[in-house]
Amino acid sequence: MLGDLARRVVAVCGADVGLVGVPEPLPGHGKGDEGMVLRHWAGTRSDLLHDVAVPAGLGLGGRALAERVPAWVSDYRAATTISHHYDAGVAADDLYAMLTVPLMDGATVHGVVYASVRDVVPFGDVRISAVGTLARTAARALAGAAAWSRPEPRSERGRPAAPVRPLPRPLTRPLTPREHEVLRWAATGRTNPEIAARLGLTCNTVTGYLKSAMHKLGVRNRTELALAAREAGLVD
């Protein structure tokens, strides 16, 4: 999953390199030994950023890990707000602009995703939002995998307790057949133009149906819409 996240950062977000750090204790590094190791990558030209240990607070990724918020610089090499412990690896891959986003589920951090570009460019809202959406989706999936791997709760008689299922999200109003149809295609990852072509609609009409479905389900974007639709049993 995290390897796929690194590849998607490159394929979807216009980055040249994607990296993902996985939290691991780093004895002897201080600050409670909190840190991570760069375990997944895409687009790299050298191996100097592979399997690198990053203590919390060091470099741009360590800063995102420690502060639990995204961090970015348009020119990593010239930045004065971060430490420069990893300049050799950054230079070997000819990287400049860099964005790091923690994979957060509540107060739990599951890692940090990096998006880097081989040019000095500002990170605009579109690219930051795209990487943030991937990070949130990955964090939810990791949290779900962690919950799945926990031991089954036992009842008083020693039998597995009945699983607790999330209650479906209540709809403010029922979806129309067209809204439901458009929602089902959007939940599979189809873009608005693809949905419009498949259903014989205009892109504006598809956008209108999706906005209406979002309002009825009380969500703000397509990722939340897909999750809410599954919780409500509207899609498989």
Amino acid 27: pLDDT: 76
Structural domain spans, the chain: 2-147, 177-231
Q: Where does the pLDDT of residue 83 fall: very low under 50, low under 70, confident under 90, or very high at 90 and above?
A: confident
Contacts of 197 (CB under 8 A, 6+ apart): none
CATH of 177-231, one of 1.10.645.10, 1.10.10.10, 3.40.190.170, 3.40.50.300: 1.10.10.10
Dihedral class, residue 68 (left if φ above 0, else alpha if ψ from -120 to 50, else beta): left
Helix (H, G, I), strand (E, B) or coil at 15: coil
Q: Among residues 236, 20, 16, which one has the least CA distance to residue 134?
A: 20
Domain 2-147: which CATH number of 3.40.50.720, 3.10.180.10, 3.30.360.10, 3.30.450.40: 3.30.450.40
- Report the predicted TM-score, pTM, of the whole model to 2 decimal places: 0.62
Give the closest residue to 20 by CA, choosing from 33, 34, 1, 48: 1
Angle between the N-to-C axes of helices 177-187 and 203-217, in degrees from 0 to 180, rounded to the nearest 10 = 90
Taking Cα atoms as reference points, which of 133, 142, 135 lies closest to residue 224?
Answer: 133
pLDDT in tens, 161-212: 555 444 444 555 778 888 888 888 887 778 889 888 888 889 999 999 999 8
Which helix H or strand E contains 217, and what residues bound it?
helix 203-217
